[in-house]
Structure 1
Amino acid sequence: MLIAEDLLLLAFDDTEGKPVSGVHNLDQAVAGALLLELTLRGRVDVTGEADEGRAGRIVLRDATPVGEAELDGALEALAEKEGAKPKDAVNRLAKDGPVDRLLSGLADRGVLKREDRKVLKLFPVTRWPAADCRHEEQLRTELHRVLVEEAEPDERTAAVVALLVATKSVRHAFPTDDPQLTQKRAEQVAEGNWGSDAVRKAIDEVTAAVMVAVMAAVVTTS
């Protein structure tokens, strides 16, 4: 399961099959998740002082295909944006509409169900209710362990938390009895040293870029 798919499972209501209230601009969030996963896998990085050209720009460290269609498509798109700022890379990936493809893929694998409906018998909409909740239940159990019990996260769980913080979705996607405490813990995790030293700066740049892209989308749509 991709980090981007985990993000979608948390963002969508299992019964209604639509994003939970308070979760917006999922294309930017999912694009950031793809970029972050490629960073963690050592395929993409953000330039530093030791690199030629400007620091803080997207660079491909390894163009070898990952073997996951969505990640490989993102890798090809990023090859065209090499040298771009992370926020521009996020926006580039978001333009490809990754959310619908990932939702369709989850439905094909039996994790979600695709339901085509009409609102007021006129306007077609697609809903994605849960079909098999086992992976999401494991994910939420792990998030509870990290955010409520304050256990140390593994790299993957920390990445999911960092994206929830960047998109201001912690309280909406992972409600708890004490949302303020959960938010504070999530921010601690997001800012912690859960990535290797080699990729920590890139992780910070990518999550910051997601926040910028999401906030810009909010301003544009409002």
Structure 2
Amino acid sequence: MTITLAEELALLSLDDGSGEARERRSASWAVAGGILLDLVLAGRVSVSGGRLTVTDESPTGEPLLDGRLALIAAWTGRRGRAPKVTEWLTKDQAEAPTATVARLCERGLVVEERRRVLGVFPVRRYPEADGSAERELRERLRAVVLDGADPDERTAGLIALVHGAGLHRLAFPGEPRKEVAARMEKAAEGQWAGEGVREAIRDMGAVMAAVTVATIVAATG
């Protein structure tokens, strides 16, 4: 089963048993970034100099991406110049995870559970229903980051987003963070994609890193 980068990032962040989202704030930015990077890889948008341009509004055939593409096209169309990537991610990071998890439910990879905390506060959890996609994802990440295999451009982009957002422990629980981070940075910076995609990956990774720093400062301030 081929799933989007955003769905892969969401699977990494959801606890398999409880369905609770871990490292929610950083993961939400990464999920929004995953959608954008998939649209870059599909040739629908471009990211250059930190700015976002829609280059092709035709559907990709993937509902999650096409829904976001329509929103981006309408949003950028109201602006006089190409907006910054950070502007779109700031706008979308609160909504993208909801749309992404809904798509995971449609695929049957997670199931929605509704309950009330203390009998009053409604919460939703998304425990794993089918672990095949996540197992394949983790095997692919492990092959590149820990075993040194060459990544394709999607995997390199995924690694850049995970690394930039500081989600190393979600991707590689139990592995030394410092060693994993160094290997992920090397993999993300390799020459695995065309220049336009590499520039997008660099920009997205920089955005994720900046967000991660801001999140840490806010949490400790």
Range into which the TM-score falls when normalised by the shorter chain: 0.7 to 0.9
Cα distance change, pair 74–150 in 1 and its aligned pair in 2 (3 A)? same
Instruction: Select the residue among 148, 151, 163 that pairs with 2:149.
Output: 151
Partner of 2:52: 58
Instruction: For structure 1, list consecutive stretches of 5 or more residues without a partner in the other structure.
Output: 48-54
Partners of 1:91 and 1:213 within 8 A in 2: no
- Give the CA deviation at 1:33: 0.7
- Separation in 2 of the partners of 1:175 and 1:88? 32
- Aligned to 1:199, the other structure's residue is in SS state helix
For 2:87 and 2:213, locate their aligned partners in 1 and report how far apart those are by CA, in whole Å: 13
Q: Is the alpha carbon distance of 1:88 and 1:115 closer, same or farther for their aligned partners in structure 2, counting shifts above 3 Å? A: same
Shift of 1:219: 5.4
Task: Point out where structure 2 has 5 or more consecutive residues left out of the alignment.
Answer: none
Indicate conservation of the 8 Å contact 1:165/1:187, yes or no: yes
For residue 88 of structure 1, what is the aligned residue in structure 2?
Answer: 87
- The residue that corresponds to 1:70 in the other structure is 64
Q: Distance in 2 between matches of 1:161 and 1:154?
A: 11
Q: Distance in 2 between matches of 1:213 and 1:63?
A: 28
Measured against aligned partners, the alpha-carbon deviations of 1:54-93 in whole angstroms (never above 9, x if no partner) come to x542112222111222211221222222610111121222
Q: What's the secondary structure of 2:115's corresponding residue? A: strand
User: Residue 6 of structure 2 contacts residue 35 of structure 2 at CA under 8 Å; is this kept in 1?
Assistant: yes
Distance 1:181 1:128, change over 3 A: same
Asked if the contact 2:156–2:192 (Cα under 8 Å) also holds between the matched residues in 1, the reply is yes
Return the offset for 1:216: 4.4
Residue 3 (1) aligns with residue 5 (2): yes
Counterpart code for 1:58: L
How far apart are the structure 1 equivalents of 2:116 and 2:128? 19
RMSD of equivalent CA atoms = 2.1
CA 1:157–1:202: 2 relative to 1, 3 Å: closer
Compared CA separation, residues 24 and 57, structure 1 to 2 (3 A): closer
Query: Are 1:16 and 2:18 an aligned pair?
Result: yes
Aligned match of 1:185: 183
Which AA in structure 2 matches 1:89? W
1:150-195: CA deviation from partner (whole Å, max 9, x where unpaired): 1111222212111101110012332143332222111111222222
Whole-angstrom CA distance in 1 between matches of 2:99 and 2:151? 28
Higher alpha-carbon deviation: 136-145 or 190-199: 190-199
Query: How does 1:10-49 map onto structure 2 within 5 Å?
Result: 10-20=12-22, 22-47=23-48
Residues 3 and 185 (structure 1), Cα distance of their counterparts in 2 relative to 1, 3 Å cut:
same
Q: 1:218 Cα deviation (Å)?
A: 5.8
The code of the aligned residue for 2:38 comes to: E
Stretch of structure 1 that moved more, 10-19 or 177-186 = 177-186
The 5 Å alignment of 1:162-181 reads 162-181=160-179
- Give secondary structure in 2 for the equivalent of 1:153: coil
